Homo-oligomer: A and B are copies of this chain.
Amino acid sequence: MDINNINQFIEAWGAMGVLWGINRSMARVHAFLLAQSSPIDLDQVANRLHISRGNASMCLKELRNWGLIRRINQPGDRRDFYVIEPDVWNMFFRIVVERKKREFDPALHSLRYLLAEADLEKDKKIQARLEQMEEILSTANSIMNRLLSDTVKSRKMLDFLKNFTPK
């Protein structure tokens, strides 16, 4: 994989990351590590992507929180090195888990809170609408919880759905 292609990939992934709620630097760091086969240290990340060491440090930390990369140590070397999560399937799994936690769960929580606290008696139409929303999100929530508790199960589910149509 030559330099130009890696650069192109890094920028494409970076732009895309912005679209789906991961900041640009973090997505670029992720792309860079995806395109490397040996461990990379903080300086290499900062130099290659032309970002500050502080920013690189924060991006690597955040990618680790998402479970997308791993920190490893080389014997006889004090520096921290980073590699991409080796199981690709697991990588997507982590992204879905993280996004559910950040986006979906607060939405459901806020809706439930509203239904519990608000005095909706006066407008049945609105109450019915919000209750229906809660029901749909609850169903989605329990399906996701069941699937995301088990990588193997998720993978089987995806394979199953590939050839399934409800009638």
Minimum distance in angstroms from A32 CB to a CB of chain B: 12
Kindly supply a per-residue 1/0 record for chain A positions 43-64, scoring 1 wherever the CB is within 8 Å of any chain B CB and 0 otherwise.
Answer: 0000000000000000000000
The quantity of this chain's copies bound in the complex is 2
Contact residues in B for A118 (Cβ distance below 8 Å): 1-2, 5, 8-9
**At the interface, yes or no: A129 with Cβ under 8 Å from chain B?**
yes
Residues 107-139 of chain A, each 1 if its beta carbon lies under 8 Å from chain B, else 0: 100100110011110110111011011001101
Interface size class for chain A? 35 or more
Does A9 lie within 8 Å of B114, measured CB to CB? yes
Kindly state whether residue A153 has any CB partner on chain B within 8 Å.
Answer: yes
Q: Is A75 on the interface with B (CB-CB < 8 A)?
A: no
- Residues of B near A157 (CB, < 8 A) are 166
Given A1-B118, A119-B5, A126-B1, A102-B37 contact (CB < 8 Å): no
Partner of A117, one of B5, B92, B122: B5
Could you jot down 25 A-B contacts, CB within 8 Å?
A1-B118, A1-B126, A5-B114, A5-B117, A16-B106, A16-B107, A19-B103, A20-B21, A20-B107, A21-B21, A34-B126, A35-B126, A37-B123, A37-B126, A88-B129, A88-B133, A89-B132, A92-B133, A92-B136, A136-B158, A139-B159, A139-B162, A143-B158, A153-B165, A157-B166
A: residues with CB less than 8 A from B are 1-2, 5, 8-9, 12-13, 16, 19-21, 34-37, 84, 88-89, 91-92, 102-104, 106-107, 110, 113-114, 117-120, 122-123, 125-127, 129-130, 132-133, 136-137, 139-140, 142-143, 146, 153, 156-162, 165-167
